[in-house]
Amino acid sequence: MFSLPKAKEEIYKDLKKIINEENIIYMDEDLFVYSYDAFSDPFLDNEISTSRADIVVKVEDKKQISEIVKYANENKIPIIPRGAGSGISGGVVPVRGGIVIDLKPMNKILDLKIEDLQVTVQPGIVKANLNTFLKSYEFFFPPDPASEDFCTIGGMIANNAGGLKAVKYGVTKDYVLSLEVVLPNGKIIKTGAKTLKYSIGYDLTKLFVGSEGTLGVITEATLKILPLPQHRAIIRVQYNSMETAMNAVVAIMKSGIIPTSLEFLDEYTIQGVNSWKYTGLPEEPTLFIELDGTEKEVFSKMESVVKTCKAFNPVTLEWSDDPATLEKLWSVRKNVGVIMRLRKEWTRLWGGEDVVVPISKIPMIVKRYQEIGKKYNIHISCIGHAGDGNIHASLHYDMRDKEKMFPIIKEKVFNEIHKLAIEAGGAIAGEHGIGLSRRRWMKEQHGESIEIMKAIKKALDPNDIMNPGKIF
């Protein structure tokens, strides 16, 4: 027989009236699994390490969610919607306890209408599984986060996920046609329409996309899908400096050809890749450029992009349309987050910075990052989606200087990085969301308009039960 604190025991007893007992998690060792996501920030370690949900419920349908949320609202109990926990902003950490709603069991494909270019799904379906299903119809859902093998569609919608293909295909919000949402009072609403165009009043669908679970629980989504491209090719090109590589990026985007993906990795990252699993990649600033379309279109575009790249005197330049080569190179890119944790010379402090700036500002931003690193005696390595200006920075420091470096990085380096992006006309996050990690720069980013966001939150969630402590 288990023993629960009285308040927690009351929640447990009440939830048993709504959901099967076997779908309620209450033991501390099990709750621990739901106390964190992929986010790691030593400055918030204390807040995260003490965060525990009171109860986790593995839900199976929208009626259960509606009743649970209504109960929580009446009793002012926090609700934290959760998918795979693959986010890197602390967005699903239950910092105020409460009830975590585990949406993974709701993973069905509900409807497919190829002729209408759309599919309707539950929020718990894994993105890669959805595309495996769609591939048999020669279609796909384009947003392409590095975590696609395990992230859920609901999580992608909640964070407006982007990814490697965003430069051509856009981000999650560009593909969400309609939503079914449980509001904080338990009511279920539908937003949008199952059409490719929509112009009827306020766009409530876009309001919930990127809201990080702070406005309601998504229970169903109708998504736009596209035909799979017939052919793909990749260009790998290295330069002798990051500034030159970034200038090449600007030239490519000005040329009139929009690549499917245009990714960059600095030389430090390539060194890490080679030390992890030798790939033979030259340890120079590197661009991965993917093109897709018909075979004829791909080779025509590639000829133009190669010509542009060569104008900046690359160290090496190779291309391939071999599927195995594409898979190998994209595997390198998608795993660099893990790879960089294995570097021996420095200790990796944080690798989730997510600023996004106008494309023309990328060379300046990368150069200023190098200057900031030298100024504070840290190493800032960069990767990211160069084609849409999204830069992911990892901060590395000598662990022997930990006590000295922590306050400098927290109060100075992070501030300079984010203020630099805002001053450049950019934003503090391009695809990773706000969660816990970027709350302190929201006012600077939005100015007085942040009060409108707070008013919307207050109107929909007056008791502040939906994922409290996030964004604001």
CATH number at residue 319: 3.40.462.40
Residue 266 token pair: 């600095």
With residues binned 3-state (H G I as helix, E B as strand, rest as coil), the percentages for the chain, rounded to 5, are 40, 20, 35
* Residue-level pLDDT, tens digit, the chain, 472 residues: 345 566 788 999 999 999 999 999 999 889 988 998 887 666 676 677 778 899 999 999 999 999 999 999 999 999 999 999 999 899 999 999 999 999 999 999 999 999 999 999 999 999 999 999 999 999 999 999 989 999 999 999 999 999 999 999 999 999 999 999 999 999 999 999 999 998 999 999 999 999 999 999 999 999 999 999 999 999 999 999 988 999 999 999 999 999 999 999 998 888 888 877 667 788 999 999 999 999 999 999 999 999 999 999 999 999 999 999 888 888 888 877 767 666 655 566 665 689 999 999 998 998 999 999 999 988 888 898 999 999 998 888 877 777 888 888 888 999 999 999 999 999 999 999 999 989 999 999 999 999 999 999 999 999 999 999 999 9
339 and 402 inside one domain: yes
288 and 322 inside one domain: yes
Residue 457 counted as domain residue: no
CATH number at residue 148: 3.30.465.10
311 and 352 inside one domain: yes
Last residue of a domain, one of 174, 192, 227: 227
Q: How far is CA 236 from CA 114, 174, 263, 347, 381, in A?
A: 35, 28, 10, 29, 19
The pLDDT, as a whole number, for residue 37 is 87
The pLDDT, as a whole number, for residue 346 is 57
End-to-end CA distance of the chain: 40
d(CA 290, CA 293): 11
65 and 140 inside one domain: no
The pLDDT, as a whole number, for residue 122 is 98
254 and 356 inside one domain: yes
Residues 6+ apart with CB under 8 A from 242: 264, 266, 267, 285, 366, 367, 370, 382
The pLDDT, as a whole number, for residue 394 is 84
Residue 305 counted as domain residue: yes
41 and 64 inside one domain: yes
d(CA 69, CA 51): 20
167 and 257 inside one domain: no
314 and 400 inside one domain: yes
Residue 1 counted as domain residue: no
The pLDDT, as a whole number, for residue 2 is 45
Q: Which amino acid is at 74?
A: E
Last residue of a domain, one of 57, 86, 102: 102
390 and 255 inside one domain: yes
The pLDDT, as a whole number, for residue 1 is 36
d(CA 99, CA 8): 10
195 and 250 inside one domain: no
Residue 280 counted as domain residue: yes
d(CA 423, CA 257): 28
pTM above 0.85, yes or no: yes
Domain count, the chain: 3
221 and 282 inside one domain: no
Residue 209 counted as domain residue: yes
Residue 277 counted as domain residue: yes
What range defines the domain where residue 392 resides? 231-423
325 and 191 inside one domain: no
Residue 465 counted as domain residue: no
d(CA 349, CA 399): 9
Residue 73 counted as domain residue: yes
CATH number at residue 63: 3.30.43.10
The pLDDT, as a whole number, for residue 101 is 98
Last residue of a domain, one of 170, 193, 227: 227
